[in-house]
Amino acid sequence: MDYIYNYILAIRLMGDDTSKKVPEIFSKYFGFLLTCVTITVGIWQYKKTEETAFRKEFYYKQAEYYSKVIDQASILVSDQKNDKEVLQAEFNDFRKLEKSAYLLYTTDTVQFWVTSFDYYFNHYLLNDPLATAERLHVVLQKLVNTCRYSLRATIKVDLKDIDIIITQKLK
């Protein structure tokens, strides 16, 4: 700004007609500044749009894998009256999911609870007295809640905002 002021002052001292030069100077610098701001905002919007698209795609994949793991774990917890061979086959399906592409989309906390469920259910099949049906239900509930929080962090939406949207759709 001082440069512009000194330039205008020099023109005045030289006796030139400053009424024509001042608007030219301001339009030149203002136009350049406006162009820079416009380009910067455009780049920022593009990056934000790309990030949102990536987050959305990642969110859908993550939700798909989380729902598969939770569904399989729910089947294991609810089918406890079946014989051990049927449960072992279902448990093998759960372990296949646990070692699949799901690992690309999971977080450490979700993986911790999946591993905990695996541990407790394995001990449940071995008739370990510490691995009870109640503990399996608790671990499953912790897994479900952790998946919800992980999905919320992926899309960066508060659960209360989701609850408001769901409540509005139900009305």
**pLDDT (tens digit, 9 = 90+) per residue, 59-91?**
888 888 999 999 999 988 887 677 778 888 888
Task: Identify whether 3 is part of a domain.
Answer: no
Task: Identify whether 104 is part of a domain.
Answer: yes
127 Ramachandran zone, left/alpha/beta (phi>0; psi -120 to 50): left
pTM for the predicted model, two decimal places: 0.63
Task: Identify whether 30 is part of a domain.
Answer: no
Question: How many Å apart are CA 145 and CA 61, to the nearest integer?
Answer: 18
Backbone angles phi, psi at 130, to 5 degrees: -80, -20
Residues 6 or more apart in contact with residue 52 via CB below 8 angstroms: none
| Structure-block tokens of residue 114 | 């999946």
Which residue segment(s) compose the domain that 85 sits in? 55-170
| Structure-block tokens of residue 97 | 């999911």
Q: Alpha-carbon dihedral of residues 80, 83, 88, 93, nearest 10 degrees?
A: -70
What is the torsional sign of CA 7, 12, 14, 20? positive
Task: Identify whether 160 is part of a domain.
Answer: yes
Question: How many Å apart are CA 23 and CA 32, to the nearest integer?
Answer: 14
Backbone angles phi, psi at 81, to 5 degrees: -85, -15
Give how many domains the chain has, as a whole number: 1
Which amino acid appears at position 60 of this protein? Answer: Y
Question: How many Å apart are CA 78 and CA 101, to the nearest integer?
Answer: 25
Residue range 116-162, pLDDT digits in tens? 999 999 888 888 888 888 898 999 999 999 998 888 888 775 555 54
- Judged against a pLDDT cut of 70, whether residue 92 lies above it is answered with yes
Task: Identify whether 18 is part of a domain.
Answer: no
Task: Identify whether 40 is part of a domain.
Answer: no
